Chain A
Amino acid sequence: MPDSEVLHAEHRLEYPYSRSVGPVIGAFLTGLREGQLFGAMGSDGTVIVPPTEYDPQTAEDIGELVEVGPGGVVESWAWVPAPRPKQPLDRPFAWALIRLDGAGTSMLHVVDSGGPDRLTTGDRVVVRFRPPDVRIGSMADIECFVPEVRDGAEVREGLR
């Protein structure tokens, strides 16, 4: 059968669920709306960021929430030369696993470093929130992370 005889029709699948996020994830997302980052104390004292309602290694209940960041260290990164439409930035960027100051785990977000030659594992980055009036309590309230600047220069403490 030639291709021209095959019916092609668009079918748009959506999962329009709304979820209640609960006391821990809800507190984290509310913190984002307020421009703050929180982690949860795990059973061995590790601060888990972003926080889960249970310790991801032991499954025990987590303890109190503690503020972390706003800076952190890049633990791994991947450079995206051609961003996809729904991704956080419309210009080339890096996905990064970022260990925020005070945290014992890392969090996925993006780094706007300007180029793959301007980012290395171990580099320091700092959070950049969206303006307060557009924040809704979502991971997208963080616009991106950017290289930390100290005394007018980027803090490049990475593997290089």
Chain B
Amino acid sequence: MSSPENPPSGSAPRRRPVRPVSIASFAQARNVRQDDHHNEVEMLMPVIAEAFGSISITKDDVDFICSGSTDYLIGGPFSFVMALDAVGVWPPRAESHVEMDAAWALYEAWVLLQEGAADAALVYGFGRSSLGDLNEILALQLDPYYLAPLWPDPVSLAALQARALIDAGRATEADFAAIAARSRKDALSNPNAQVAKDVVASTLMEEAYVVSPLRRHALPPITDGAAAIVLAAGEKAHQWSDDPVWITGFDHRIETHSLGARDLTVSPSTSTAAARAGLFEAPVDVAEIHAPYAHQELIVKEALALGDSVVINPSGGALAANPIMSAGLIRVGEAAARIASGEAHRAVAHATSGPCLQQNLVCVMEGA
């Protein structure tokens, strides 16, 4: 494992040449606690329509469709197939799905574009957390022999990680509150945010523990939401944008599912993915980190070796809205939006999956 003080830039992996692929468009639903009035298809339709419409294309302009969602929310196998009605897949389309955050669907599509097997792809993620008890549903994603029989909820597992970080002398509960306060304040300028408010950290510290050492402010909101990104390569990238936002590196890594075999205070999989995505080759202006729990931002920030000049989560991040299966994809879209607007030239997006930052994805982007 890498020590947090020494990101693995010393052993920089040799990178293969990357086929330029652009984030051609990005759209997301307004994140809400509970959307009773739309099913998954109805939730996705305006999002996909915006992703296509903002660059004046149709479904006939993409070669590949890839989505991220989880059957555990809807309660039916292959429920992602139904969601394809939001695209309208006739005549038949090349399509794939990951039972993961759609940031990994974006990775799959990017690999296909790398191979030259497609020139444009639609990627989307969706999830209605409100359909069930997320604390129980997420316990079922764990090791079925050693963890799931005990029903540990995600807040409790995150709290074990937060305690380890405090015990290691690397953070305090006040640090968690400061991250939460900053994130929710930044979210005031994000029209899609679910939790946006200006409350100082000292006030947040007065909240009771949900599971100590985590108070409510250090937890993500429970969110219904969806998002979509269109990827483009070759001529299409230039046709669909005057100033494309290019993906210059993309990687994801996983750590053991044995929770007790990991050092929970560091994220070596994030560091490895970042090195392989070329993050350490140049500084970034903005980082969108998928840290559902406040303390996880500190761990990821260290793993990405981000200096204090880097703007972290200007969107408010996952503490402002955490739509399951699209919160990671949204990090990529938000980071790309900062480059498109000229606020940043080079940016990094991070997505996570599994308990206590088990699996991590890093996407590095640059403007023209």
Residues of chain A whose beta carbon lies under 8 Å from any beta carbon of chain B: 1, 3, 6, 8, 11-13, 15, 19, 21, 25, 29, 48-50, 52, 56-57, 75-81, 84, 86-88, 95-97, 99, 105-110, 116, 121, 138-140, 159
* CA gap between A83 and B213 in the complex, in Å: 15
- Answer whether A79 and B211 are a contact pair too, CB < 8 Å, given A97-B259, A107-B260: yes
Cβ-neighbour of A139 out of B146, B208, B258 (below 8 A): B146
* CA gap between A69 and B311 in the complex, in Å: 47
Cβ-neighbour of B156 out of A50, A57, A80, A138 (below 8 A): A80
Cβ-neighbour of A95 out of B156, B209, B257 (below 8 A): B156
B145 lies within 8 A of A139 (CB):
yes
Task: For A50, list chain B residues within 8 Å (CB).
Answer: 145-146, 258
Nearest first, the 7 A-B pairs at minimum CB distance are: A78-B159, A106-B260, A56-B256, A13-B75, A86-B151, A79-B212, A105-B261
- Answer whether A108 and B150 are a contact pair too, CB < 8 Å, given A97-B160, A116-B212: yes
* CA gap between A43 and B132 in the complex, in Å: 42
Q: Which residue of A lies closest to B257 (CB)?
A: A56
* CA gap between A57 and B150 in the complex, in Å: 24
* CA gap between A121 and B211 in the complex, in Å: 16
B212 lies within 8 A of A140 (CB):
no
Task: For B160, list chain A residues within 8 Å (CB).
Answer: 76-78, 95-97, 108
Q: Which of A19, A50, A96, A109 has the most CB of B within 10 A?
A: A50
Cβ-neighbour of B72 out of A13, A138, A140 (below 8 A): A13
* CA gap between A109 and B151 in the complex, in Å: 10
- Answer whether A15 and B258 are a contact pair too, CB < 8 Å, given A78-B156, A97-B160: no
Task: For A95, list chain B residues within 8 Å (CB).
Answer: 152, 156-157, 159-160, 211
A78 lies within 8 A of B258 (CB):
no
B150 lies within 8 A of A87 (CB):
yes
**Is B167 close to A, CB under 8 A?**
yes
Task: For B37, list chain A residues within 8 Å (CB).
Answer: 1, 6
- Answer whether A78 and B264 are a contact pair too, CB < 8 Å, given A84-B151, A95-B160: no
A105 lies within 8 A of B163 (CB):
no
Cβ-neighbour of A108 out of B36, B147, B211 (below 8 A): B147
Cβ-neighbour of B164 out of A56, A76, A81, A88 (below 8 A): A76
B261 lies within 8 A of A48 (CB):
yes
* CA gap between A116 and B163 in the complex, in Å: 13
**Is B153 close to A, CB under 8 A?**
yes
A76 lies within 8 A of B163 (CB):
yes
Q: Which residue of A lies closest to B158 (CB)?
A: A78
User: What 0/1 pattern do residues 151 to 185 of B give for CB contact below 8 A with A?
Assistant: 11100110111111001000000000000000000
Task: For B207, list chain A residues within 8 Å (CB).
Answer: none
Task: For A108, list chain B residues within 8 Å (CB).
Answer: 146-147, 150, 152, 160, 259-260
- Answer whether A87 and B75 are a contact pair too, CB < 8 Å, given A52-B258, A76-B160, A106-B260: no
- Answer whether A19 and B144 are a contact pair too, CB < 8 Å, given A76-B163, A97-B160: yes
* CA gap between A123 and B150 in the complex, in Å: 22
